[in-house]
């Protein structure tokens, strides 16, 4: 029997409990998820410190940290580097790098030291066909109950869109609060989708519904105005 070249990589799926971990970070030790009860979390990995794409991503995340906190969301970064390398890189960003008008940015969210790849392996961030020594650009959006709600993966060459990540968090929060879905290209304040009826009785009831803020494009596709717009 031929032995596999790489150990099998497992990753959690949407709806799973987010794997628990304890880690050393640039902001001190963290115990996840206990330290983040009641909060949404964006856990994201990057291939390495002192790399160009990662630098632009960290600057953008740092510039948006307070925006994320306003929607009850915390950021946690990770790469397979030491905390000392993290600190040196973050200081370089703060002291020397200017990008798209962003400068003197202090990265205040924790960045995990993961030299043994313990956390990266729990989350399937190591993908051997991409690299056996670096984490891919992974994003896990985790809800206040420590359930994984979204998983995004990017190749090492492609920077992430932080506004899109924020939009996803807000769409998930909308769903959790109001039990509605969000249509293509939804932005906060846009109309939302009402769940489709699941029986003929419900279809007939909906046909006779004249709720002011609701309108239907067909029996299975009904929307309503955002009450908080």
Token couple for 62: 């740092």
Name 130's Cβ contacts closer than 8 Å, sequence gap at least 6. 136, 155, 156
Residue 33 burial by Cβ neighbours in a 10 Å radius (0-12, 13-18, 19+): buried
CA 186 to chain centre: 17
Tokens standing for 147?
A: 């359930």
Integer CA distances (angstroms), 191 to 43, 187, 208, 219, in order: 29, 9, 21, 17
| Total residues belonging to the chain | 229
Task: Report which DSSP code applies to 196.
Answer: P
CA 68 – CA 17 distance, rounded (Å): 22
Contact (CB, 8 A) for 111 and 144? no
Q: Among this protein's residues, is 54 annotated catalytic?
A: yes
DSSP secondary structure letter of residue 6: S
d(CA 126, CA 124): 6
**92 labeled part of a ligand binding site:** no
Q: Which of 11, 18, 41, 54 is an active site residue?
A: 54
Binding-site residues for substrate sit at 137
Q: Catalytic site residues?
A: 54
Binding-site residues sit at 137
């Amino acid at each position: 029997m031929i032995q596999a070249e790489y150990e099998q990589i497992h990753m959690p799926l949407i709806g799973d409990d987010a794997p628990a971990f304890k880690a050393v970070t640039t902001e001190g030790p963290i115990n996840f998820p206990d330290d983040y009860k009641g909060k949404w979390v964006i856990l994201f990995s990057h291939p390495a410190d002192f790399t160009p794409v990662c630098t632009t991503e960290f600057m953008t995340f740092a510039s948006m940290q307070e925006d994320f906190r306003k929607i009850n969301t915390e950021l946690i970064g990770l790469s397979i580097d030491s905390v000392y390398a993290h600190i040196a890189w973050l200081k370089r960003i703060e002291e020397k790098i200017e990008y798209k008008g962003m400068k003197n940015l202090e990265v205040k969210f924790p960045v995990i030291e993961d030299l043994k790849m313990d956390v990266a392996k729990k989350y399937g961030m190591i993908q051997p066909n991409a690299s056996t020594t670096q984490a891919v650009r992974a994003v896990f959006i985790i809800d206040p109950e420590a359930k994984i709600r979204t998983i995004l993966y990017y190749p090492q060459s492609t920077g992430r869109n932080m506004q899109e990540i924020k939009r996803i968090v807000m769409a998930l929060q909308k769903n959790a609060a109001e039990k509605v879905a969000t249509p293509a290209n939804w932005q906060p304040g846009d109309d939302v989708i009402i769940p489709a009826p699941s029986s003929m009785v419900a279809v007939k009831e909906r046909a006779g519904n004249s709720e002011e803020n609701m309108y239907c494009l067909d029996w299975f596709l009904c929307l309503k105005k955002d009450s908080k717009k």
